[in-house]
Amino acid sequence: MKVKNFRSFSLTALAFRSLFLTSPALRSPSVTALAFRSLFLVALAFTVAGISPARAQAPLEPARMSPRTVFYLIWRGVPTPPARTANSLLALWDDPDFAPVRSAIAAGMLSSSEKKSPNQKLTAEEFPEFAALLENSFTLGYLNEPAKHNVSNPAASPDAKPPAWNGMFLVYDRTGKEALLSKAVLRMRAEEKELPRLSQVAIGNVQVLKVERKGGVTFWAEHGRYAISASERSVMEEILGQLDGKASSAASLTQSAAYQEAQPILGSGLLEFFLRIPDLKDLAADSNAGNFQVRPLLDAIRLDAVHSLSGHITFEGARTHVQAAILGDAAPGTPFDIWSAGQPSPASLALVPAEAVSYTSAQFNFPGIYDTVKRMARAAFPQGQQGNVDLLDTIAQGRLGMTLPEALSVFSGEFASMQTSPSLDTAKQVYFFGIRKKPEALKLIRNVFGDQLASERNEGDVTFLKISLGGNQGAAGFAQWHFFHLAVAPEMILGASRIDTVREVLANRAHSSSPTGLASVPRFQAGRAQFPENLDGLSYFDFQKVDWQAAKDRWIEDARRNSAARSAVPSKETAPSRVPDWLAQVNPQVFSRHLHYSSSVSWKDSKGIHWDQWVE
């Protein structure tokens, strides 16, 4: 390769560097941030990609990945046109009536470049064009640093620290996207303030461009049908060897115990991700800030008990299936203490009427969370400052009138919400908190809210409380106050912005001994029967019960009301809100045309915590 071609390589590298690595968190060994950033980009592909090439395999599958792989995300390319038409979610994205929403999402992403000059900003027309790069498959990953060898370097300063390891890599199938890639490269190149230092190196039999910037080094190569980028020479060498089939199949990620444990939910799907948790502990082992060290904290929460986070998304006809799991040794004293053991039917379910639009329930292990935080706090303070750990309990007791463990024991750990309004009126949104001790729950509420308690009265075994959330000056010149209403029963607390909404749900207590309401709906029962007996999470949404036109009208009215309220209180920093263009333009029937039903569950067992969701 001649020197004149260095610029082309550099620009190509810059395109993907801009697409995937613009966040400082991504340039650091933060695999979690990398995962979220990548998932965001995959969601973007759904939103703006209009062309649907044939499905492709990932450039680098787990069987060919290094055993040092800490994290990978595989995107196997946009589905074929028949699959997009058949699937409810993809058909919604592609519907012409959904165009205002797609445009709004693109505009929102473009607004992140407000500080750039007009010539640098990505236009609304360019955005979907460049996003088409995500139609092709890619593999994004991170390799852990190889074992260090103690080899002295006489020329190095005794105080010199080796550069931080950055094991990120990207392998992109550029088939059919070569011209678009070159165009994107030229567009991205204009945004660099300083030209990088370019040089050519040979890695194996491949000519690789080395791009040196103040922030680090990037290696880039276009090898066959693939574009490959890495931040470490050894990683680049290893990836090239794997693509050429030179790596040993016996030494791959699939041979690791963590991968094999997660394999039941890996190996398929449009999107697939895998993160080995213990390697994060290794990355943070030597990290410290002053007297604060990370390793004791990770040891205190027993991060080694968590083996992996993994999952995938598949399209199965009209339905979209999402599965994920955090796997490991779910013994007491580990991070899995966050979740409860679950139960066959949450207490809140008996209160949900059959006509409910949505319902969500989750169960947490509050004592387990408290013990975990306490262990972390003790590990964070030096031996002579352990008394600081108990300071939080002292403050809580003065504020709550009881210790934190006593306060947490008041609650059962269940939190739920339900919506009964077809227009999704927030006044019909009800919140549920499971409790064990009503007198202590009332004591907590009185101590926490104090003067905000506007009224309290008893009706049978239920205590009704009215809590003031504050007031403002109304348009007519008089004070308006906002209230939240609670009903405290022996086994629960119900809350809503209107008292009649609380009373409607409370009336369902009389039927709680027999399966009625949502629990008796055949579709709900059929979905529930597919999963383990004890669940710690349950979610349901019937899109067909939503009056989308009424919901749109209410959202527009709320936006206008908020705009008027902001206009009454001018601010130099906050511009008055207005009705979003997409909301005014979208045809609300597009939602009822494609969306029907969604349900999800989560459960905990000896292997970890699992999530399963269906959307159609």
> What is the Cα–Cα distance from 58 to 51, expressed in whole angstroms?
19
Instruction: Please indicate, yes or no, whether residues 238 and 387 belong to a single structural domain of this protein.
Output: no
pLDDT tens figures, 24-39: 333 333 333 333 333 3
| Longest Cα separation, the chain | 88
Average pLDDT estimate for 40-59: 48
Place of tokens 């046109």: 81
Instruction: Please indicate, yes or no, whether residues 608 and 526 belong to a single structural domain of this protein.
Output: yes
Residue 594: its pLDDT value, please? 94
Instruction: Please indicate, yes or no, whether residues 238 and 360 belong to a single structural domain of this protein.
Output: no
> Which of 86-95, 153-162, 192-201, 546-555 has the lowest average pLDDT?
153-162
Residue 308, domain member (yes or no): no
Question: What is the helix (H) or strand (E) element at residue 170, kind and residue range?
Answer: strand 168-173
Instruction: Please indicate, yes or no, whether residues 241 and 367 belong to a single structural domain of this protein.
Output: no
Instruction: Please indicate, yes or no, whether residues 259 and 367 belong to a single structural domain of this protein.
Output: no
Chain mean position to CA 23: 16
C-alpha pair distances (Å), 603 with each of 30, 468, 493, 532 = 28, 37, 24, 7
Instruction: Please indicate, yes or no, whether residues 464 and 603 belong to a single structural domain of this protein.
Output: yes
Residue 46: its pLDDT value, please? 44
539: pLDDT strictly greater than 90: yes
Closest Cα to residue 403, out of 391, 421, 415? Answer: 391
From 240, 255, 274, the end of a domain falls on 274
Q: Percent of the chain beyond pLDDT 70?
A: 76
- pLDDT range class, residue 527, cuts 50, 70, 90: confident
Query: Is there a contact between 600 and 539 (Cβ–Cβ < 8 Å)?
Result: yes
Closest Cα to residue 184, out of 43, 420, 389, 18? Answer: 18
Instruction: Please indicate, yes or no, whether residues 463 and 602 belong to a single structural domain of this protein.
Output: yes
> Which of 272-281, 335-344, 356-365 has the lowest average pLDDT?
272-281
Residue 279, domain member (yes or no): no
- Evaluate the CA torsion angle 417, 418, 424, 425 in order and state its sign: negative
- pLDDT range class, residue 15, cuts 50, 70, 90: very low
Residue 292: its pLDDT value, please? 54
> What is the Cα–Cα distance from 415 to 501, expressed in whole angstroms?
18
> What is the Cα–Cα distance from 518 to 359, expressed in whole angstroms?
9
Average pLDDT estimate for 568-579: 56
Residue 590, domain member (yes or no): yes
Our CA dihedral for 36, 37, 40, 42, rounded to 10 degrees, sits at -100
Give 68 or 287, the one with higher predicted confidence.
Answer: 68
Closest Cα to residue 186, out of 357, 422, 9, 363? Answer: 9
Query: Is there a contact between 588 and 551 (Cβ–Cβ < 8 Å)?
Result: yes
| Cα atoms found within 13 Å of the Cα of residue 598, Cβ hemisphere only | 16
pLDDT tens figures, 62-103: 999 999 999 999 998 888 888 888 999 989 988 999 888 877
Beta-carbon contacts of residue 348 (< 8 Å; ≥ 6 apart): 359, 361, 414, 416, 418, 432, 434, 492
Question: What is the helix (H) or strand (E) element at residue 516, kind and residue range?
Answer: none
> What is the Cα–Cα distance from 384 to 134, expressed in whole angstroms?
54
Instruction: Please indicate, yes or no, whether residues 255 and 388 belong to a single structural domain of this protein.
Output: no
551: pLDDT strictly greater than 50: yes
> What is the Cα–Cα distance from 242 to 64, expressed in whole angstroms?
6
Burial class (CB in 10 A: 0-12, 13-18, 19+), 328: buried
> What is the Cα–Cα distance from 294 to 406, expressed in whole angstroms?
30
Averaged pLDDT score across all residues of the chain: 80
Instruction: Please indicate, yes or no, whether residues 120 and 247 belong to a single structural domain of this protein.
Output: yes
363: pLDDT strictly greater than 70: yes
Residue 581: its pLDDT value, please? 82
- pLDDT range class, residue 433, cuts 50, 70, 90: very high
> What is the Cα–Cα distance from 351 to 591, expressed in whole angstroms?
28
Residue 288, domain member (yes or no): no
- What are the beta bridge partners of residue 463? 458, 488
Q: What is the pTM of this model?
A: 0.82
pLDDT tens figures, 319-337: 999 999 999 999 999 999 9
Give 15 or 267, the one with higher predicted confidence.
Answer: 267
Extract the tokens encoding 149. Answer: 């060898």
Residue 284, domain member (yes or no): no
Closest Cα to residue 264, out of 615, 607, 530? Answer: 607
From 255, 274, 293, the end of a domain falls on 274
Extract the tokens encoding 136. Answer: 């092709």
Domain that holds residue 469: 329-546+586-615
From 274, 290, 318, the end of a domain falls on 274
501: pLDDT strictly greater than 50: yes
Domain count for the chain: 2
Instruction: Please indicate, yes or no, whether residues 384 and 464 belong to a single structural domain of this protein.
Output: yes
Residue 575, domain member (yes or no): no
pLDDT tens figures, 443-497: 999 999 988 999 999 999 999 999 998 755 444 444 556 899 999 999 999 999 9
Residue 131: its pLDDT value, please? 75
549: pLDDT strictly greater than 90: yes
Average pLDDT estimate for 503-517: 78
Residue 516, domain member (yes or no): yes
Residue 299, domain member (yes or no): no
Instruction: Please indicate, yes or no, whether residues 71 and 173 belong to a single structural domain of this protein.
Output: yes
287: pLDDT strictly greater than 80: no
Instruction: Please indicate, yes or no, whether residues 253 and 335 belong to a single structural domain of this protein.
Output: no
pLDDT tens figures, 115-132: 555 555 666 677 777 778
